[in-house]
Amino acid sequence: MKSPYFFERDSFGFLMIKLPKEIELFSHFIEEIVTEEDVNLLIDLIDKIVAGTYKEKEVTFDGPTVLIQQDITSVSLSDILDTPPPPDQYIETDEFRKLILIWQEKLPVRFIDEDDVH
C-alpha cells in the first residue's frame, strides 16, 4: 500500500479503517462493506474493469459512491448529503483494490467487542 492506514474502534466498538486526509472519504465507502460476498463482487468488478471488460462502473454501498475506472477510482458523498458535499477524492484503482482486500481480512472481527469475553 502506498498510503498509510490503521484501524481503530469507534464508540460502539466497531472496527473502522483510518486513511490519510486526502483519501479519507474512501473509508466511509469501505466501512459499508460488511460481507465476504460484497468483497468478492467488488473485487471481481474491479478486475473486470482493469481487464477492459467494462469501461467504468459506479458502486454504492448504503451511502458513499465510488466510480471505478481502469486507472483511477473516485469517491463521492454528493448523493447522500443535503449540504454542499466535500470534493470528490481519488485513488489509483489498484490501490483501492488493495484497500478492499485489507478490509476483507478484518471482516471477521469487525463487530466483535474486544471488551467482551468470547
pLDDT digits (tens, 9 = 90+) for 24-63: 999 999 999 999 999 999 999 999 999 999 999 999 988 8
| Residue ranges per structural domain of the chain | 6-109
pTM, two decimal places: 0.88
Which helix (H) or strand (E) segment is 60 a member of?
Answer: strand 56-60
Q: Has residue 111 got a pLDDT over 80? A: no
List the grid coordinates of 2.
Answer: 502506498
Residues with Cβ within 8 Å of residue 114, at least 6 apart in sequence:
9, 13
Residue 79: pLDDT band (50, 70, 90) is low
Q: Has residue 70 got a pLDDT over 60? A: yes
Considering only residues 65 and 82, tell me which one the structure prediction assigns the higher pLDDT.
65
pLDDT of residue 75: 94
